[in-house]
Chain A
């Protein structure tokens, strides 16, 4: 079984804002197009032009309706992007029999070494988030690399050294940075917005965080407008128009 580093220098990860995510799938295909030619290339597609089409994707967005706390049906539709959370306690790594799955001690990114992967799928069973993607064509497990071939890439202009999904997101719902540094912009964002772990009870200590939708009653914008009074309660029609107006 594979060892985890005792600690990592950084914990790089994503922060995803469920308040602005409109479920447009932009992060899904931008991830696909970068990564199908990237570090784990290709992201194979099976039966791409027929029934049963399926393929390797590092990032998927699901849409579901959330039950209201007051029992009045499902009062909110939520779009939920799902990818590897680069956990601090990743069972997918510790379960790996060959050392193929590992967590980098420098930046905390969880990767798969394709040369060591035997395609046993234990990691996909161990991951409660469904973030592992088996490429059946090559018999290798693939997954989000946090765009490790972008974020440090000296062949890209510096401003492009962010994960593909973060650059593409039209609603600006995706953020990236070092979540181990409490003063990093992403950590401050998580603190301000009450960012949460996904399924913390599982104990995997995910690095990625989700910012919850703003509560419409409490944190949403309040327009405290007084009710409109009739301009002329006595019924004198259009009396309020008598003022001098100049064109």
Chain B
């Protein structure tokens, strides 16, 4: 392992200290060398999901200053606006101070403070009863949780299949499409080769995912003169500095990408050698329309997938080495007509329906632009190819003298993900990357350990039996299905899970559907639950579709007068809107007061050059009666006697989360942290627990990083050196080549079931939708809401994005960040506004098929004219987050969520989600805007009653003079 001796990202000569940095003589009495701090502690930021390394400067136990850790693999010393405002998050007046028990009506914010023992006893009594009767009556959903390896394991040991985190309403389309296609995905599982790419395409990235590495990378690209092309309806942030901005219509990216594919195939500009070596392009697909095997791969008697070897004139093991496979034509194997995958690809995408002229109007992008971009991609990939002088050995043991690269890199995120066609759109982008031969090659898109994994990873979701009393599930609740037999459905095809994940309505729901839990639990569909247990998820406000309806569901009672969702336990560090709807509140710490691990078992922070993980540790002590949620969860687990959380004598196995981080083993020798394993800390990856492990992390700056040898850094899917390493580390079960699945057989298996083949069949009413959506090759279809509503009545697409200074950040209670943005506007194209008789600063009603919300507009040119958008989650509920009534966030800030339904228009059986993955389709929203009555008050609607302040929380200060104490300390100490 190595620690980079680096000066960090900003180390150009023009960014360094003066050559002589001694203070000059100047008789003004300025102290140029004041004391900075008494102590510096290294930890990991949690102001968003980026997880940068931070150096926290402390004075008298108080945080003086937070700066980026220059040695850290994620941020290399830089720090974003949120990270530098971490002090204000840590000192927020909205911090909860003690466990709370509801005493008033749900939603009123009336609580009494209770002791932790009472709180934990209430929770234990309730959860124990559920576990001993029907464990699925506990729905345990965590939000922007970075400890899903723990929380998922806890749910598994409890025995409820009803667990997920926020991925279902965030970006599961990206994760699932990536994992089913190339065995990795954008962001956490891969990254552009910033150092070698010459052409970079950014799709639908709303200033997010991930924060600092993209900014560092864009700077590198610009320095080298690479072209940056941004495809996004909104010209903000990264898109604003791109060399070319394609202001595409929302939800049409897939069509645009498939038109690029059309052009490449028309011109024969695809990397055929790459395709046969690393993908299933040559695998033979059975062509037996109407048969139960139609569209499945042709296999030999041993189950090996076949390809046609032109040299031998025979069908052979497709995944063997040294064959000369046919990519086109038809052959007869075992009496059946078969065609190679690439034949199907070429036939489909060379069709005129994908021609630039055919898609231009729908995409809002001229055909000549599409043709030019296709030509540019092909030119850079093939005429500007690069070659690194690094020899490597492939999976079959063949030595290659160089690493060939096609320097076209791509990155995509929520603008692709948050549509009901997002899974296929993301697969289309991966198809485009693979046809150009740019995945995991120099200059292209690179995997980050522990990825790539088999496509899909072998882990199946557990909980088919719905959970049995006092019994753990047989495995993790979340996983990857490969066919109908892996679904979590009952004998009638009905869902097992409360969110209907892994049902026929969302078969590939790898992250669950958190956005449907409250609606389904309220309706008792598929069954009522007893307790909803949530962590860090603002489901009573900005994390739910249909916020008004969700609030009503949380407070609705049955005929006996009981709440329809009987009990709600919620853990949060702050007085968010959702706290008011909990019956029991477990107050969490801030990120500077806790232990955490950023684990390879969870959501990794690796670099493409090697795996990395990190910790948080308490750099300051809480001044309130709060406990870290993960420690509380382990305590609850011990009280419930959950296997793995208790010793043989019944006592708690782990004292706290830190103890778990060091001593828990998921499989022998593999635990949450990979660094400094073994009793003496002299090994990594696999090894016994090391009692000094956390100290070793702290001494190393809070993180561990292993640098792969040069020959293992590219072609990881087929690189002997990397694959062997991955097996050693436990990333992969076997060192087999990972073959990219351009053609996805699992998708075809679901489609065959929908056509009536096999034993496990979907209900009749689901079949047409499944047949349409489960195409084994990428397709495009209109986003559901766009297709369902009247285009003339609702002529505009409506989007949200988070501002960079608040992306993934938890709350507007931050005194500094809210000074930058405390009111969101609806951004409207000037021409569109003119057509509607609107002028800048007008107040408008934003109306959808579902509901309406009032907001103020701002006119711009940098947006697709048929699209309006706003900053998300700026609008706050009156009284929440300890903001005084009248704050901009609740007076003028608004949530688009009020206009978004959790169900499809006119269909209350199907959620507003991608039909493959269940991904929440936030960006399918269609609206019209209407000028408000000028006499109406200039404030947002709907308007809610003011939330009461819970007991024990002092009022927020009228003035902050933060920092004055450090000046006094400095001047006194002199």
- Seen from chain A, the residues whose Cβ lies within 8 Å of a Cβ on chain B are 9-10, 12, 15, 19-26, 28-30, 32-39, 41-51, 53-55, 57, 63, 65, 73-79, 102, 104-107, 111, 113, 137, 148-149, 151-156, 158-162, 164, 166-178, 184-186, 188-189, 213-214, 216, 220-221, 223-232, 237-238, 240-241, 243-247
Contacts and interface: CB of A to CB of B under 8 A. Distances in A.
B84 A159 contact: no
B26 to A, nearest CB: 4
Interface stretch (B71-79, B525-533, B630-638, B691-699): B71-79
A26 B67 CA distance: 11
A29 B272 contact: no
Nearest to B228: A221
Given A162-B15, A162-B16, A245-B325, A156 B36 contact: yes
B33 interface: yes
Given A26-B81, A166-B10, A153 B243 contact: no
A30 B84 contact: yes
5 contacts: A22-B237, A24-B207, A149-B31, A173-B219, A174-B15
Given A228-B378, A247-B322, A104 B276 contact: no
B906 interface: no
Contacts of A78: 240
B820 A232 contact: no
Residue among A15, A170, A178, A226 facing the most chain B CB atoms (10 A cut-off): A170
B879 to A, nearest CB: 12
A189 B886 contact: no
Contacts of A246: 273, 276, 322-324
Interface string B261-279: 0011011110011001100
B10 A231 contact: no
Given A26-B84, A28-B820, A167-B77, A42 B967 contact: yes
A171 B242 CA distance: 13
Instruction: Please name the 3 residue pairs, one residue from A and one from B, whose CB atoms are nearest each other, closest first.
Output: A231-B268, A225-B379, A36-B963
Given A74-B862, A221-B226, 18 more contacts: A20-B241, A24-B81, A24-B211, A26-B83, A28-B81, A28-B820, A34-B65, A41-B963, A51-B886, A53-B887, A63-B236, A160-B67, A174-B10, A178-B18, A216-B244, A228-B378, A231-B266, A245-B273
B14 A148 contact: no
Residue among A38, A54, A188, A189 facing the most chain B CB atoms (10 A cut-off): A38
Nearest to A113: B28
A189 B844 CA distance: 47
Interface stretch (B367-375, B410-418, B461-469, B845-853): B367-375
Nearest to B212: A170
B964 A247 contact: no
A227 B374 CA distance: 9
Nearest to A10: B24
Nearest to A175: B14
A154 B207 CA distance: 37
B80 interface: yes
Interface string B197-229: 001000000010001100110110010011100
Given A53-B822, A159-B70, A65 B860 contact: yes
A27 to B, nearest CB: 8
Interface stretch (B163-171, B443-451, B753-761, B809-817): B809-817
Nearest to B831: A73
Interface of B: 7-10, 12-18, 21-26, 28, 30-36, 64-68, 70, 75, 77-85, 87, 93, 199, 207, 211-212, 215-216, 218-219, 222, 225-227, 235-241, 243-244, 263-264, 266-269, 272-273, 276-277, 282, 307, 310, 320-325, 327-329, 342-343, 346, 350, 371-372, 374-376, 378-380, 383, 803-805, 813, 815-820, 822, 830, 860-862, 882-884, 886-888, 891, 956-964, 966-967
Contacts of B13: 185
Residue among B87, B244, B815, B816 facing the most chain A CB atoms (10 A cut-off): B816
B84 A77 contact: no
A245 to B, nearest CB: 5
A232 B817 CA distance: 58
Contact of A54 (B24, B219, B819, B957): B819
Nearest to A223: B376
A43 to B, nearest CB: 7
A172 B276 contact: no
B211 to A, nearest CB: 7
Contact of A41 (B376, B813, B964): B964
A51 B891 contact: yes
Nearest to B375: A225
B204 to A, nearest CB: 16
A53 to B, nearest CB: 5
A65 B863 CA distance: 11
Nearest to A115: B29
Contact of A153 (B34, B235, B240, B820): B34
Contact of A24 (B320, B805, B964): B805
A181 B540 CA distance: 58
Contacts of B960: 42, 44-45, 48, 55
B227 A221 contact: yes
Contacts of B66: 33
A39 B380 contact: no
A51 B887 contact: yes
A53 B818 contact: yes
Contacts of B78: 26, 167-170, 172
Nearest to B11: A159
A30 B891 contact: no
Contacts of A237: 346, 350
Residue among B17, B267, B959 facing the most chain A CB atoms (10 A cut-off): B17
Nearest to A104: B26
A32 B816 CA distance: 8
Contacts of B244: 216
A45 B94 CA distance: 17
Given A22-B237, A39-B30, A172-B15, A49 B815 contact: yes
B219 A20 contact: yes
Contacts of A154: 33
Residue among B219, B320, B380 facing the most chain A CB atoms (10 A cut-off): B219
A30 B957 contact: no
A5 B372 CA distance: 57
A227 B887 contact: no
A241 B237 contact: no
A166 B7 CA distance: 13
Given A74-B861, A106-B26, A151 B18 contact: yes
B28 A50 contact: no
A33 B85 contact: yes
A228 B371 contact: yes
Contacts of B264: 228
Contacts of B241: 19-22, 79, 213
A75 B378 CA distance: 27
Contacts of A50: 883-884, 886-887, 956
Given A37-B967, A107-B26, A245 B219 contact: no
Residue among B239, B241, B266 facing the most chain A CB atoms (10 A cut-off): B241
A221 B225 contact: yes
B34 A77 contact: no
B931 to A, nearest CB: 23
Contacts of B861: 65, 73-75
Contact of B85 (A29, A159, A176): A29
A164 B68 CA distance: 10
Contacts of A33: 65-66, 84-85, 87, 816
A113 B18 CA distance: 24
B371 A171 contact: no
A245 B84 contact: no
A152 B32 contact: yes
Nearest to A31: B84
A85 to B, nearest CB: 17
A96 to B, nearest CB: 14
